[in-house]
Structure 1
Amino acid sequence: MTLSPLMLNSALIVLGLYILRRYSIRKNRFPVPPGPRGLPFVGNVLDMPTSHEWLAITEWTKRWGDIIHVNVLGKHFVFLHSAEDAVALLDKRSSKYSDRPTLIMAGELVGWVASLGLTRYGDRFRESRRFFSRIIGSKSALRPFHELIETEIHKFLRRLIYTPENVHEHIRKTASGIIMKITYGYSVMEGKDPYVEIVDRAMENFSITTTLGAFLVDALPILRYIPSWVPGARFKKLAAVWRAETMAMAEMPFAMVKQQMREGTALPSYTKNLLETETLTPEKEDNIKWSAASMYGGGADTTVSTIYSFFLAMTMYPEIQQKAKEEIDRVVGKDRLPTFADRENLPYVEAVVNEVLRLSPVVPLGGFHRASQDDIYKGYFIPKDTVVIANIWALLRDPERYPDPSAFNPDRYLHPNPNRNPREFIFGFGRRICPGLNLADTSVFFTCAMVLATFDISKAVENGVIIEPSGEYTAGSISHPKEFKCSIKPRTSKASSLILAEFEQ
């Protein structure tokens, strides 16, 4: 086979980078962390898992311990598998680990580079965080949205009465309804909604393109210059389609708010507030647009996964579901629905939600952190530009912190010496912690509490045969339960009446 000039140049660049990296590491008296040995020039390319990466990488700890290093075409990755190491580096040394690596496929080609999740650490990142902090950055800031959240959850309960078989679709519509209302002042339509559909597609693309090792162009950035008609450049055609969907997700609702503001019909929202109160420049307006898109895109998708995991858990563990219902009946009674004021009196329901979060982390490998300078940790050398990743899935199954880690056991949080709250890990670390964590936490808890108060969830039965959920999860950087069948019925006629009465009000 004759090598094209482009392929030859790519190979020479890889070779140069490999030699440079090897030299820079060898001249340091500290070794990089242990890991698979790898091959000359390509490193650990053949060792990298292609699906459900968090599971395969966790298996590596049996041989190489909790801190693992791999080299992929000259690019360094370090995986952390203990809470101690994740906190020590990503929290306590956040000044060194708050940057993001450049993701060519997701960022530059598909267009997510301006989103908060992929924004490099700097002025734009800090400004976006300030925007979030003003509107939803604390529990007190979120309080004005409590009524809105309750209203959307009541709509969700009503949908479940009429079409429980569409539970997954209803969860997505509810999560979108909450965030679209807060972000843009927009009420999601019943049935198909154009904004929900475009976000669904964009977030599916995001999950695919940010999956570790999914696209060679992330390891060999020069490939982004290959014309799309060249054989093997299918990723360029995909990127063009996906980029259009990314741009539509950010542009469409933002343009809607600006038009409504001109017409004097815009409702209060995150976007309207910022456009009215900030001193606008083209750069700031662009940042407002993308911070809003980040809130909607990221928040909706992750909330959907968690609530669907809750339905899966309640299907598989009826005795735990019953215990949670008994607490709600004791505290709330059967004549009203739970409210925000009830939360502190529902410790078992809180523990159930904690266990869902622990066993079903939405982003199993967390966010990618880039080392902005050389560092030494526990006698290991972490070179500048290393991508440092906390394996959240593994952290939350550490048997030292969570005895019998595979068991769904809410009681682990209710002992005098409770297991560590998984919320300390699932929302990220340091300056990269999820800015929408309060909104996500509130939405998830009250959806679960209201469902427990009003519905019975059990395994589906077809033709007299009980359908067992597989309990499997999708691959990708954002993981969801694979669709499953379950039975969802109002607990009593009184529960149905409460739901419908709340909706009519």
Structure 2
Amino acid sequence: MLTLTDVTWLDICLTGVGVYLVKQVITKKNPAPYPPGPSGWPLVGNVSDIPRIKPWLTFAEWGKKYGDISHVEILGQHIVVLNSVKTAMEMLGKKSSIYSDRPVLTMGGELCGWKHTLSLLPCGDRFRQYRKNLRRVAGIHAALDIYNPVQDIETRQFLKRMFETPDQLQEQLRHTAGAIILRISHGYEVKESNDPFVDLADRAMDQFSRLTAPGAFMVDIVPSLAKVPEWLPGASFKRLAREWHETLEEMVSAPHNFVKDQMAAGIAPKSFTSNLLEGRTLSAEEDHIVKWSAASLYAGGADTTVSSIYSFFLAMTLFPDAQKKAQAEIDAVIGPDRLPSFADRDFLPYTEALAKEVLRWHAVAPTGGPHRATEDDIHDTYYIPKDSLIIPNIWFMLNDPRTYANPSQFNPERFLTKDGKLSETDPRVICFGFGRRICPGLHLADASIWISAAMSLAVFDISKAVENGIEITPEVDPSSGAIRYVALLIGVPPSVMHIHTCRGSHPKPFKCSIKPRSAKAIGLIQQDENC
């Protein structure tokens, strides 16, 4: 497999020279200055300024130094970083017709087929139809009433599995997230272990992680290599792309065909897919949209939801006072004889505030998904060239002291109304993205996080693990996910940027103690979900 490890700094400099010479010939005078930013080098621009780890921290420093909009250029690729909610909403929201496109991933998107998922889909008719379909499931609160029972049932099953295997938190969270989404998307009930659809999805998602490793495939740096034949020496990436394309296609088609078969037999439960197929004769294009809309639910939501709920358990391990306050509220409102339900949500304000604080405290996508400008723009007197990548620094927006008092503190009370004054900004208007690229499953994800938190707090005490008499304090250091995607898009070699994951930003794996609160709690965990 041809990788960027074979590329030397001489290659990079020669590329920079070529870009520079072409620009000198064709570049016309800019109508306005670029946004301010660190000074770059001739030819290669700001290659050395792109941070290797925790890029959101460096971007935040740029914000303090240069303002809410900053700019760098790498080998001719313009990158604009946004460091305020106001600017993000003005550009990505109010000017969404300009700033809603996505950049192209040659290996993962074009050759392997991930371009058909909503997160990578370019703007157009398909994009609008996907979002329209997904809105039926997760875009409005009314739609969730249909699927709340699914979340309730699967979360109860999660409690049972955690009671039996409390040391398998991540595995059980991932299983539960997949079970919820597959029930909603395809009416499919996941097996307790070795489920074929879950295993298939995990394999495809792992391949996507490998696909988006910066420097893994030369074709992402030189897109014209996509046209070379498979038999050519050095073109093993084409054979790999074909194999991984088949895995992705199976992940998308197998549950879709499962629904069709059940509908033909008259036994299909209500689901996102069955609702879109029922009573219709679909064209090939319409069937494609239904199939990939459903797949986008899983690809876009399973991993990020796991990250948020895993962060909840980390927060409860580190901040026992917040846990005790939420448990006291649940005990007072719900009592010991039943589990919380969605009907209780409005009556548990502290638990609601705690779930919001989890979303603020741990940014699942610290730098969001990059937007692409489809035309030149002048914003706030600055020139934003066509094809610029726009990166919202969501981490800083959730930790901006102008928005949140003492942002480094985990403090659910910040979202409780006091003395008639408005509480601090709801993090859900930030953490799910902006404009037309806002997460269409935000209400579904929010509901899943809340019910997981409320039910878990009702029956479990979460605390630091103890080994050999020593209490283990987890480290708060999320892995950096989204910037890897950015590195790939701009062609930065691995020697310049060392990134570890392409999915949502997860806390480092940690150990904690998860124990039932009482004999009554054990009874609630073990009771039938229909009780």
Normalising by structure 2, we get a TM-score of 0.87
Q: Is the 8 A contact 1:203 1:301 kept in 2?
A: no
Alignment of 1:462-501 (within 5 A): 462-477=467-482, 478-501=504-527
C-alpha contact (below 8 Å) 1:124/1:287 kept by paired residues: yes
C-alpha change, 1:502 and 1:387, in structure 2 (3 Å) is: same
Aligned to 1:49: 51
Instruction: Give how far 1:323 is off.
Output: 0.8
**After superposition, what is the alpha-carbon deviation per residue over 1:336-393, rounded to whole angstroms, capped at 9, x for unaligned?**
1111111111111111111110121211111221111111112110011111110111
Identify the range of structure 1 (167-176 vs 408-417) with the bigger mean alpha-carbon deviation: 408-417
Which residue of 1 is the match for residue 453 of structure 2?
A: 448
Q: Following TM superposition, by how much is the alpha carbon of 1:287 offset from its aligned partner in structure 2, in angstroms?
A: 1.4
Write the mapping of 1:156-171 to structure 2, written as runs, cut at 5 A.
Answer: 156-171=158-173
Aligned to 1:111: 113
Aligned partners of 1:422, 1:128: CA distance in 2, in Å?
Answer: 25
* 1:235–1:365 distance in 2 versus 1, CA, 3 Å: farther
Amino acid at match of 2:307: S
* Structure 1 pair 24–387 and aligned structure 2 pair: CA distance change class (3 A): farther
Q: Which residue of 2 aligns with 1:3?
A: none
Matched AA of 2:316: M
Residue among 34, 40, 44 paired with 1:32? 34
The 5 A counterparts of 1:18-417 are 18-19=20-21, 21=23, 27-207=29-209, 209-210=211-212, 217-225=219-227, 239-240=241-242, 242-414=244-416, 415=418, 416-417=421-422
Indicate if the aligned counterparts of 1:154 and 1:503 stay in contact, CA closer than 8 A: yes
Preserved contact between residue 207 and residue 476 of structure 1 (Cα < 8 Å): no
Question: Could you tell me how far apart the structure 2 residues matched to 1:407 and 1:9 are?
Answer: 46
8 Å contact from structure 1 (residues 175, 300) kept in 2: yes
Task: Give the 3 Å change call, closer, same or farther, for CA 487–331 of structure 1 in structure 2.
Answer: same
- Contact 2:477–2:508 at 8 Å: present in 1 too? yes
- 1:265 is matched by which residue type in structure 2? I
Contact 2:68 2:84 in 1 (8 A): yes
Q: CA deviation at 1:278?
A: 4.5
Q: Contact (CA 8 Å) 2:359, 2:431: kept in 1 or not? A: yes
3-state SS of 1:502 partner: coil
The change in CA–CA distance for 1:278 and 1:327 in structure 2 (over 3 A counts) is same
Residue 468 of structure 1: SS of its match in structure 2?
A: coil
1:140-175 Cα offsets, whole Å, 9 max, x none, are 111111212111111011111111111111111111
**After alignment, is 320-329 or 70-79 more displaced?**
70-79
Distance 1:211 1:365 in 2: 17
**1:503 counterpart SS class:** coil
Q: Percent identity?
A: 51
Instruction: Supply the distance in 1 between the matched residues of 2:24 and 2:212 (Cα, whole angstroms).
Output: 27
Partner of residue 425, structure 1: 430
Indicate the SS of the match to 1:55.
helix
> In the alignment, does 2:463 pair up with 1:458?
yes
SS of the residue 1:488 aligns to: strand
What do the CA deviations read for 1:168-197 (whole angstroms, capped 9, x no partner)?
A: 111111111111001011101102222222
Q: CA deviation at 1:401?
A: 0.6
CA distance in 1, matches of 2:385, 2:64: 24
**Shift in Å, 1:504:** 6.8
Answer yes or no: is the 8 Å Cα contact 1:10–1:222 preserved in 2. no
Per the alignment, in what secondary structure is the counterpart of residue 148 of structure 1? Answer: helix
Shift of 1:55: 3.1
Quote how far apart the aligned CAs of 1:26 are: 5.4
Question: In structure 2, how many angstroms separate the alpha carbons of the residues matched to 1:42 and 1:91?
Answer: 32
Amino acid at match of 1:169: E
Question: Counterparts of 1:137 and 1:336 in 2: how far apart (Å)?
Answer: 30
Distance in 2 separating the partners of 1:23 and 1:60: 31
- Relative to structure 1, the CA distance from residue 64 to residue 236 in structure 2 (aligned partners, 3 Å threshold; closer, same or farther) is farther
CA deviation map 1:482-501 (0-9, x unaligned): 21110000111101101212
Q: Give me the whole-angstrom Cα distance separating, in 2, the residues matched to 1:475 and 1:242.
A: 24
Contact 2:479 2:507 in 1 (8 A): yes
Q: How many residues align?
A: 500
| Amino acid paired to 1:495 | A
Residues 59, 83 of structure 2: 8 Å contact kept:
no
1:53·1:212 contact (CA, 8 Å) conserved in 2? no
C-alpha separation in 2, matches of 1:212 and 1:279: 43
SS in 1 for 2:529: helix
- CA–CA separation in structure 1 for the residues paired with 2:342 and 2:203: 33
Please state how far the C-alpha of 1:106 moved relative to its aligned partner. 2.6
Q: Matches of 2:283 and 2:261 in 1, distance apart? A: 18
Maintained 8 Å contact 1:75/1:219: no
CA distance, structure 1, for counterparts of residue 413 and residue 213 of structure 2: 34
Deviation, 1:214, is: 7.3
| Distance 1:315-1:231 versus aligned 2 partners, 3 A rule | farther
Q: Residue 72 of structure 1: CA displacement?
A: 2.2
| Aligned mates of 2:259, 2:153 — CA distance in 1 | 22
Q: Deviation per CA, 1:299-321: give whole Å up to 9, x if none.
A: 11111110000000000101110
| Structure 1 residues 207 and 360: alpha-carbon distance in aligned structure 2, compared to 1, 3 A threshold | farther
Tell me the distance in 2 between the aligned counterparts of 1:50 and 1:239.
Answer: 28
**Offset of 1:230 from its aligned partner?**
8.0
Change (3 A) 1:207 1:60: farther
